[in-house]
Amino acid sequence: MSSNADAPVETATASVEDLQAHVETLEAELADLREAVDDDGQKSMTIIATKGTLDMAYPPLILASTAAAFGWDVVVFHTFWGLEILHEEKSKNLKLSAVGNPSMPMPNAIAALPFMDNVATSMMEKKIAENGTATIEELIETSLDMGVDLQACQMTIELMGYDEDEFYDGVTTGVGAATALQHMADADVQLMI
């Protein structure tokens, strides 16, 4: 920003030309500021999704699809276990962990038995179906249809040994932390889930 605007104007001695020049400077700065803040009221949200369990896959997708229904620009950046949500095969088999979850109706000693994650997952899937709650696959397809940008972190794709073809069609790949930060800096709402 120019420092001219901060300079005091000696109104008693300033010529009309000086005042006009000063006004023009101020108007130019005002136009720049208006341009900088003018986003047509368009809201945006960036979510960082880091978890790949069945229960933690829902919140980012529910918020993303709902925000898209509001007409917001939405980016969900999936990293580490969050990648499993975008993985076409794995997303249909996300598991719920019974261990360390005080909301589960069983003590940890029992929850830690080898088959209990499958039991807990089956119970949850049954409730999801009975309640008319959308599946993860439906929410992903819906979100993509509504223009949500579902991004898969390139570094973790390679770390986990995934192939880009294994993700849903329409998922953005080849993006990293800098892209995520850029979206977060511009967004009205930023969430890490």
How many of the chain's residues bind other proteins (CB under 8 A)? 15
- For other proteins, which stretch binds (CB under 8 A), given 10-18, 25-33, 114-122, 131-139? 131-139
| Nearest-approach distance from CB 177 to other proteins, in angstroms | 28
Q: Give residues 57-76 in contact with other proteins (rule: CB under 8 A).
A: 62, 65-66, 68-71
Q: Is 132 in the site for other proteins (CB under 8 A)?
A: yes
Candidate list 99, 106, 112, 134; residue touching other proteins; CB under 8 A:
134
Report residue 54 CA to chain centroid gap.
Answer: 18
> Are 96 and 121 contacting, i.e. CB atoms less than 8 angstroms apart?
yes
> Residue 38 interacts with other proteins (CB under 8 A)?
no
SS3 150: strand
Question: Whose Cβ is closer to other proteins: residue 57's or residue 139's?
Answer: 139
Residue for token pair 């360390």? 100
Q: What is the H or E stretch that residue 73 is in?
A: strand 73-78
SS3 call for 74: strand
By CB atoms closer than 10 A (0-12, 13-18, 19+), residue 65 is: buried
The yes or no reply on residue 50 touching other proteins (CB under 8 A) is no
Binding site for other proteins (CB under 8 A): 41, 62, 65-66, 68-71, 131-134, 139, 142, 146
